[in-house]
Structure 1
């Protein structure tokens, strides 16, 4: 049998040695391109870092506040403590939010946003009082209580149309089982379930125990509500009862399936 020809031996040699390597000038051009791209990327990254942290173009120049009612814009700005000239990227929005909630208990929530290129925006939601508690002593003021049962601020005068909360637990055993904070939350729960027309006339919410909560209305009428449970059913029953007995002075919906009214 004849051996491989010269051409065949050449082909085998090419397969063993791999594909042909490009000429040296081509390899050098590729290397130069890679180096240029790498240098460009590093320079661009350094430029971005300088722009964000070192330049004067992206720094805090204004602090806008929205959503305030009782609080002033100045109070919120001072509590936020975001100095002018701070690089915008370095402002920790979570830290600013936590600081505002800690320093201003009247704030229920706040959203801190960057407003490029020069601003920080503070979107504030204030707590709304649903009840007030009279402070002991002459001129003690009133503590505002929100819909979550949080006592968040003391004011010299009670807000208009916000009922007074009277806590008069009859026995120490009641307080051991239901602490004051729990009784306050139950009072808030009741205040939130009272029908709107009645809520507008409510002047005092009296809490004697967990299951003995009553309402004193502006015209002297009163409502025995009981506990904070079954609030919607009690609200419907009270509305119907007041329509059926418009001249009654006392209403009892503590058991909504067996309500009663009395007086005229």
Structure 2
């Protein structure tokens, strides 16, 4: 039987060498693809960095203010010191929030947000006074956390005055030493927050003589002995019922809410 011809042997050798050649070509093709993708990604990354930091496209051009009631837009903008002209991505929003809280104690909450492509938004919530403390010819506003946050020339309408008048009794002096004026002021705030709505509207003065001796002066001179700031909800219910039962009374005592009392007419 005749063996394979020279042509057949060459054809077999070529076929046997085809798979390694094909694999090499495939590897080269994949390598070229990887290199091209890497170059594209690098160019895209460099372009993004340039667009965010180096170009004039994404820079701070305007700063807006929302939520103010007493503060002016100009006051907020001045305190914020937002870097107009800087790349928007590089703005330190936390630093702006810190400056606003430090320079404008009237601000209770603030949110600084980037408004792409050219803006910064300052959203503020101002503190609301629940009591005022007279200091000479000025009035210091106190919020619902007992924070004294602003001094104004005129008392805000509908906000009761806080009178911290510790008596000379030994118990009152001991109360002042134990709790301090700040804690006693917070107790007054606590009482103001627990008042029934109708009573709150009529309250003109919250007097604090000691931790356990807080009283109210209402419009027309009616007084309420409240006691401490504890059990506020029970005292509010007792006062509401007592005022309905004795509408002509001039003095109410709910310091012990389970045994309220009224007097005068």
* Secondary structure, aligned partner of 2:97: helix
Match of residue 230 from structure 2: 229
Paired with 2:98 and 2:116, the residues of 1 have a C-alpha distance of 22
Tell me if the contact between 2:224 and 2:253 (Cα under 8 Å) persists in the aligned partners: yes
CA-CA distance at 1:78 after TM superposition: 0.8
The runs of 5 or more residues in structure 1 that have no matched partner are 1-18
Tell me if the contact between 2:213 and 2:225 (Cα under 8 Å) persists in the aligned partners: yes
1:158 and 2:155 aligned: yes
Normalized against structure 1, the TM-score is what?
0.89
1:193 and 2:194 aligned: yes
Q: How does 1:89-100 map to 2 (within 5 A)?
A: 89-100=89-100
* Aligned counterpart in structure 2 of residue 168 of structure 1, from 118, 141, 165: 165
Residue by residue over 1:31-90, the C-alpha shift from the partner in whole angstroms, topping out at 9 and shown as x without a partner, is 222211111111100000001011111111111110000000110011110121111101
Runs of at least 4 residues off by over 6 Å: none
The RMSD of aligned alpha carbons is 1.3
CA-CA distance at 1:23 after TM superposition: 5.0
Match of residue 7 from structure 2: none
Match of residue 10 from structure 2: none
* Secondary structure, aligned partner of 1:129: coil
Match of residue 132 from structure 2: 132
Greater percentage in helix:
2
Match of residue 114 from structure 1: 114
Aligned residues: 243
CA-CA distance at 1:20 after TM superposition: 4.1
Normalized against structure 2, the TM-score is what?
0.89
Paired with 2:174 and 2:110, the residues of 1 have a C-alpha distance of 40
Match of residue 14 from structure 1: none
Paired with 2:103 and 2:214, the residues of 1 have a C-alpha distance of 34
